[in-house]
Copies of this chain bind each other. A is one copy, B any other.
Amino acid sequence: MEESLRKLDAFFNPCSVAVIGATKKVDKAGHVIFKNFATNKQRGVFKGDLYPVNPGEDSILGFRCYPSIKDIPSDVELIVIIVPAKVVPSVMEEAASKNVQAAIIVSAGFKEIGNLELENQVVAAAQKGGIRVLGPNCLGIYYSKTGVDSLFLPETKVLTTGEDVIATPRPMPGNIAMLTQSGAFGVAALDYLTGQQMGVSKFVSFGNKCDVTDSEILNYLLHDKETRVILAYVEDIKRGRDFLKVAKKVTAKKPVVVIKSGKGEAGARAAASHTGAIAGSDKIYAAAFEQAGVIRARDMEEFFDVGKALAMQPPALGKNIGILTDAGGPGVMTVDELEMLGLTVEPFSEQVIQEFEKLKADGVILKIAATHNPVDLTGSVTDDQFEIAADLMFQDSEIDGIIFLGLHHMPGLREKYIDSVAKVARKYCKPLVMCDIGETEMALYTRSRFARLGIPSYSSPEDAARSMKGLVTYGLYLQKNNCAEEYLKEYLQRRDKQ
């Protein structure tokens, strides 16, 4: 591993961690963070040495507490800092003596409230000591595999009623990396991803980005085997040229989806008062993202939806989409949205149309079914009809991807079609995304079952269409840059192993 990556690796795979500002006081961030590490150590997840640092305590949660980092008997690889801002420069100086490689500064009170000089002092001390810094004013890192969890928001929260409820869950392990400049959006994302059963490889909250930048973490994730897709919330990007260069390298291998906020005049003003971000011209960002193959999401839902699609399915190598439905209206809504997004829903090739006619003649599918694209098997659909139609549509060389609207309400459907349609999709190297509308028992079951089978599922036709657009955008980018073939080769190797 090259030196720059090795340094960053200390954030995710540290042999030892000291929590500066750990405390016994339950409500304090210093308690929550230390407890995260202590619990993960007890569970056998965090395998490194763990040191609480606080001059006012003897021990915390059974761990001997040290008055200062200098008193720790051995070297420390990662420190997490939650002490008042003004103390942080001296902590950094002491840390250098313990060969610290990486520091997460959770503490706020720096550039974001005008204390630029203090932040500069921290950076200077860190550079002198050879320490990489994440933050300040950040949540830091969550990495389930090694038990690094510097999030000061506890998983559960006690209400005034005395009830203990899940408030800020940690998602299960998975192949999506989540980067965020906004801590609040970051915790919201953890909650959302957990609820959507989307697994996370690495979570990084940047805060003020005084040292470690987006570009560096992107580069780290390029080499991270667990990460397949990178989601990033950004308000501004420092060193734009670096970012472009790195992003271009990354997107040849792994999709990157961003939500860039602070778009218009009022939005930029709001961003400035939030993270001190100078949002800059939105058009410049848009052009830069496009050039680097970074997919920009229109809003929060599209951000996660597109990420989910890219994490599960191959990209589409063309923009002509097939629609298979048992619901006419939602089928039309899908066509509308695809058209608006610049994709097409062209009639099938003559051969496939003939095959559909034959299926009608043989009584396999109903004569009243529409089969020119969309294929509308009507409310009289059966499980088998869905399977047969999906297979036929995939065979059409003019079809680059399929949106499957399998509304579970139709009386002839049992749950068999879920597994069989998912199985059909695995025979081909074209993307399939699905939609079932509804929020009660059977809808939730259907979507969740499809997701477990590797088919991203959505609750509205337009969400499905937008996700397909993400798959098309990425596929066409790969193609233009001559890396589609290799990407798909690796995709298929991974899929075959599953």
Residues in chain A within 8 A of chain B (CB atoms): 27, 29, 32, 108, 112-113, 152-154, 157, 159-161, 165-169, 180-185, 187-189, 191-192, 194-196, 233, 235, 259, 261-267, 269-271, 273-275, 299-301, 326-333, 335-340, 344-346, 368, 370, 372, 374, 376, 379, 407-411, 414-416, 437-443, 445, 459-463
Contact = CB atoms under 8 A, between A and B. Distances in A.
Given A376-B273, A409-B167, A329 B185 contact: yes
Contacts of A153: 409-411
The 3 closest A-B pairs by CB, nearest first: A195-B439, A182-B329, A191-B438
Nearest to A380: B108
B273 A184 contact: no
Nearest to A261: B332
Given A154-B411, A274-B370, A408-B167, A443 B195 contact: yes
A230 B325 CA distance: 27
A345 B270 contact: yes
A160 B415 contact: yes
A273 B372 contact: yes
A266 B409 contact: no
Contacts of A407: 184, 187-188
A266 B188 contact: no
B166 A442 contact: yes
B169 A440 contact: yes
6 contacts: A154-B411, A185-B437, A264-B335, A274-B376, A299-B460, A300-B437
A233 B165 contact: no
A329 B274 CA distance: 7
Contacts of A330: 182, 184-185, 188, 300
A328 B262 CA distance: 11
